[in-house]
Each structure stands twice: as structure tokens, then as C-alpha cells.
Amino acid sequence: MALSPKEFDLLETLITNRNLALSREQLLELVWGYGFAGETRTVDMHVLRLRKKLDWDNTIQTVYGIGYRLNTRRS
């Protein structure tokens, strides 16, 4: 399944910052820009779609109380 331009931008940001937890606000700033006036649920919905499209349920991790992290470390 193809990624939308925003999904691609989000994935690129997560890859660039791999293994670092980024808050929803940081992701909104980095992906949508300072002028974005939407809700942080936008990030949640885009992460949900990325997980589904890429089958990365365990790779894009939710960090409780912070936001999201792309985990590239092997366990």
C-alpha cells in the first residue's frame, strides 16, 4: 500500500530520529510545521496508519507519557 505524503514525512522523521522518543508536539512541529493548528490526535491517526501499512506494530512504539519512537534495536 502506498504512503500518503504526510505519512512519508512522518516516517522520514521517525527514521531520522530512530530510537529517540518524540512527543506528539515535536512530531507536529517537525512534520506539519509551526503553523499547524490541528489536534495531536492527527499524529496518533497517522502513526496508526503507518503501523498498519508497514506491519510495524512493534517497530513504531508508543512511549507512555511522551509520544512515539521508531525502535531499530534488536532484542
For the entire predicted model, the pTM comes to 0.89
Among 20-24, 36-40, 42-46, 51-55, name the one with the lowest average pLDDT: 36-40
* Residues ≥6 apart with Cβ < 8 Å to 20: 69
What does the pLDDT read at residue 65? 92
Domains of the chain from N-terminus onward: 5-70 (1.10.10.10)
What does the pLDDT read at residue 1? 78
CB atoms within 10 A of CB 70: 21
What does the pLDDT read at residue 39? 72
Q: Which tens digit of pLDDT belongs to each residue from 43-72?
A: 999 999 999 999 999 999 999 999 999 999
